Amino acid sequence: MSVRDLLVLGSSSAVPTKTRNHNGYLLRWDGLGLLFDPGEGTQRQMTFAGVTATDVHWLCVTHFHGDHCLGVPGMVQRIARDGVEHEVTAVFPASGTEYWRRLRHATAFHDTDVITERPVSGAAMRVDGGTAPFTLTARRLAHPVEAYGYRLEEPDGVTMVPAELAARGIRGPLVRRLQEDGEVTAPDGRTVTLDECSVRRPGQKVAFVMDTGVCDAAYELARDADMLIIESTYLDEDAGLAHDRGHLTAGEAGRIAAAAGVRLLVLTHFSERYRPEDEPAFRKQAAVPFDGEIVLARDLDRIRLPRRRAV
């Protein structure tokens, strides 16, 4: 059975805390795994979560601050040590290629040749994903170092309508031919088109927006997303700190989600300055502008992607 969910491996910002590990997010998509921003301790968190290096097919880094990439050496070496055979696509800012190479070859180990590098640059770029059943787009965010957010988008599909097929005498192999060719000749000689027997099935969308100030790219990445995973490093009362350091508050994350038409908002990347008893305020502040579902990420959470949108 296909699984589409987010596994939170870490949800702290600059430093780990007693209750939150460095960043780390594994998006599982029908047998493929996209690991975003592995910070320190990601391997151990994966062990607790019951996933392994073989579950990783994409390794995506938003930028080269340590809390978003210090787990890269361990993940690369674990991919090599475990003998992962499938291709692993590594995506990272091209401007940080020197940092990537240092992390990629941080220590002596028996290397692997399954990692394919896909550096991103410019204001926006579609990543070459080969035969992946989705597109991955990177957009430049607003942070003191070059940082990118990512948007995974599944193409729209179609759902066959059994009653319409039956009314036209389309059954068995004719159904497959109709799906593949767009039209078939019915047993009575009529030409039947795919549009007559199907409805559009909206593709699902996930946006991943880490360290950034408020910017157009954050809204563009989040547009109509079924799930938005977004940093909310600070509470609104600390907006000055957020703006000085290129981060978002909980209220700003909520405003982005509301304006973009997001369905499920996942708040994460919390500053260590806050205590556990402060955490409900993040949800409360994000809920002022955003009236949809909000999840406050906690380590080892599994968050399911919402059901498809209705047409």
Q: Please check whether residue 121 is in contact with residue 176, taking contact to mean a CB–CB distance below 8 angstroms.
A: no
Q: Across the strands, what pairs with 198?
A: 160
Q: Is 67 a catalytic residue?
A: yes
In angstroms, how far apart are the furthest CA atoms of the chain? Answer: 72
Catalytic option among 37, 67, 211, 238: 67
Q: Please check whether residue 115 is in contact with residue 144, taking contact to mean a CB–CB distance below 8 angstroms.
A: no
**How is residue 139 annotated by DSSP?**
E
- Strand ranges inside the chain, DSSP E: 4-10, 24-29, 32-36, 58-60, 88-93, 115-120, 124-127, 135-140, 148-153, 157-160, 183-185, 191-193, 198-201, 205-209, 227-231, 264-268, 293-296, 302-304
Question: Cα torsion for 42, 48, 52, 53, to the nearest 10°?
Answer: 10
**Could you give the C-alpha distances from 191 to 14, 173, 179, 210, 287, in angstroms and in order?**
62, 16, 14, 51, 52
Q: What positions carry a catalytic annotation?
A: 67
